[in-house]
Structure 1
Amino acid sequence: MLNETLKTLFNRDLNRLKSEIDAYQSEENIWQISHGITNSAGNLCLHLLGNLNTYIGAILGGTDYVRNRELEFSLKDIPKQELINMIEATIGVVSKTLDQVSNEQMDNEYPILVFEEKTSTEFFLVHLTTHLTYHLGQINYHRRLLDRR
């Protein structure tokens, strides 16, 4: 049951991420920082994708994804369509992986230590949904401030 709820939330919010990136009238604005905004929408998008592909795809799903967190915040000017393609691929990875996570795995300790204390897989996956929505809100606000749609 939780798997289906998580799949629904991740799918909803990753599709919202795709819509937000697509809504930028100017691709240049995806990468702009201004007025005390320290991360561009493009870099927040890359960060979210790196996070989900690592903690869900690689750790739980066994994909060969290797994260370079530094690049998530330093890469610039990736075309809008490429970001959208990356989001769509991540939707697939998250959905496929969550289909494979058992109730027992949900109750068990998450396979790696991420925070100061150990957590269950269930707790960590719920955390990842809130992390996604937090940055999604920042991206929405960034777009409305800098792209003025």
Structure 2
Amino acid sequence: MKKLISELESYKKEENIWKISGEISNSAGTLTLHLIGNLNHFIGSVMGHTGYIRDREAEFSLRNVPKRELLNQIGESIKVIKNTISEFPKDNYSTNYPLEVFGKPMTYLYFMIHLQGHLNYHLGQVNYHRRLLDI
């Protein structure tokens, strides 16, 4: 998530965070909201019992959230993730994650690796978005 902060801070024009063009249908802002919601739900709420309630539809429909607000939300998400992981019993990583996200049981460890890949996939999209559309 710290790399996501770096990517957002690298935009020359704040309004370009929300720019879409041609085949690029998700802005960096949308991808940021999606990652915040995804990690707060699957790590914070499910693993850490934070009470976070995800609004996935809003992740893809909100627009023009100020960069400062996005950065604040990422910072809060980092705290939630660090707290949850530091308090999660290491022995539990080999037990089944309570949700069958892919329609079958999987361990916490398996799902954490998936979440890391998901984060990096969208982080690459944000980087590409910035280099193409922040002009």
TM-score (norm 2): 0.97
Structure 2 letter corresponding to 1:50: G
| Residue in structure 1 matched with residue 72 of structure 2 by the alignment | 85
Counterpart in the other structure of 1:32: 19
1:55 and 2:37 are equivalent in the alignment: no
SS of residue in 1 equivalent to 2:132: helix
Once the two structures are superposed, the pairs formed by residues 1-149 of structure 1 within 5 Å of their partners are 14-148=1-135
Structure 1 residue 85: Cα displacement: 0.5
Matched position secondary structure for 1:131: helix
Taking the aligned partners of 1:129 and 1:34, their CA distance within structure 2 comes to: 27
Code of the aligned partner of 1:103 = K
Instruction: Give the superposition deviation at 1:147.
Output: 0.6
TM-score by structure 1 length?
0.88
Determine the C-alpha separation between the residues in 1 that align with 2:8 and 2:58. Answer: 19
Aligned to 1:6: none
Q: Give how far 1:103 is off.
A: 2.2
Amino acid in structure 1 at the alignment position of 2:42: Y
Report the AA paired with residue 41 of structure 1.
A
How large is the RMSD of aligned CA atoms in angstroms?
0.7
CA distance in 1, matches of 2:3, 2:90: 28
Greater Cα shift, 94-103 or 132-141: 94-103
Instruction: Output the CA distance in 1 between the equivalents of 2:14 and 2:22.
Output: 19
5+ residue gaps in structure 1? 1-13
Moved over 6 A (4+): none
1:113 is displaced (CA, Å) by: 1.3
